[in-house]
Amino acid sequence: MEAGARYPSVFVVDGPQRDVPFVPPVRRHQKTWPCCQLILGVLMLLILAGLGIQGYFLICFRKELDRATAEENAEATHEKFVQDHKPAPEKPAAHLTGASFTASGNSTLQWEHTLGLAFLQDMGYKGGSLICNKPGHYYIYSKLYLGNSGCPHNEQKNMWVVHSIYKRTPRYPEDRPLLINNILYCNSKDSTFWWHNSFLAGVVQLEENEEIYIKVSERQLVRIKDEFKSYFGAFMI
């Protein structure tokens, strides 16, 4: 070849290499993702905590509301019960308080019928007896507060106190018992003080001029002159 001739440039190209993994370039802004994820996690925890606190206060408020509603309903039910069972002005009723005994010393109790809580409404009172002026069905009740500062001797223990409601009627020669309660008195010999509440109640048919009264077998055990603990009454139903 001639000495002044130029040779073309030679480019060497490597052939493709197989089985070499491709590694993408790492971008700088990807390094900020862990920080963002942490902030998002904290925000989510705060949101969940706020929802939990709000739910707790809502539950507490609901409980208070339910309690207030229940108390209001109970009070309304009680008032309705009192109104439904309050003796009507046109119906006979009576409530006697306290307790004492007849001058003759028998077991018939005397009652206060004018003072304090006691009243008579279209019913009579005489010698410890309530007198029926209008025939009908009556709800009668009696409560006695019994007590003693000590029990009797051992040979007298386990005796019974009888609290009863009697009816006196012109149709029968003798008085008839209507309700009876037997109370075991001082069943423990080591007792230094004994007390008991005896309550009787029921519905009976009374005719005009019939009388009802209270008897107790051991009159010394009745705590007399207490209008809240011992009383006797009746009302037409």
Q: What is the pLDDT of residues 100-144, one digit of tens each?
A: 765 455 678 889 998 889 999 999 999 899 999 999 999 999 999
Strands 231-236 and 136-148: antiparallel
Q: Tell me what pLDDT residue 59 has.
A: 84
Give me the pLDDT at residue 169, please. Answer: 93
Digit-coded pLDDT (tens) for 82-95:
455 555 667 999 99
CB-CB neighbours of 111 under 10 Å? 24
Q: Is the pLDDT of residue 162 over 60?
A: yes
Mean pLDDT computed over 11-40: 61
Complete DSSP assignment for 181-234: EEEEE---TT-S-EEEEEEEEEEEEE-TT-EEEEEES-GGGB--S-TTTSEEEE
Mean pLDDT score, 222-235: 84
pLDDT at 194: 80
Contacts of residue 176, defined as CB under 8 A and 6 or more positions apart, other chains included, come to 166, 167, 169
**Maximum average pLDDT range among 16-20, 41-45, 172-176:** 172-176
The Cβ of residue 152 has, within 10 Å, a number of other Cβ atoms equal to 14
Instruction: Find the mean pLDDT for residues 198-223.
Output: 91
- What is the pLDDT confidence band of residue 37, given thresholds at 50, 70 and 90? confident
Residue with tokens 């009697």: 166
pLDDT on residue 26? 55
Question: How many angstroms separate the first and last alpha carbons of the chain?
Answer: 147
Q: Pick the more confident residue, 111 or 186.
A: 111
Mean pLDDT computed over every residue of the chain = 78
- Cα 209 to chain centroid, rounded: 41
Who contacts 148 (Cβ-Cβ below 8 Å, separation ≥6)? 186, 193, 194, 195, 220, 221
pLDDT at 79: 52
Q: By the 8 A CB rule, do 119 and 139 touch?
A: no
pLDDT at 78 (0 to 100): 47
Q: Give the residue, 31 or 213, on which the prediction is more confident.
A: 213
Q: What is the pLDDT of residue 86?
A: 55
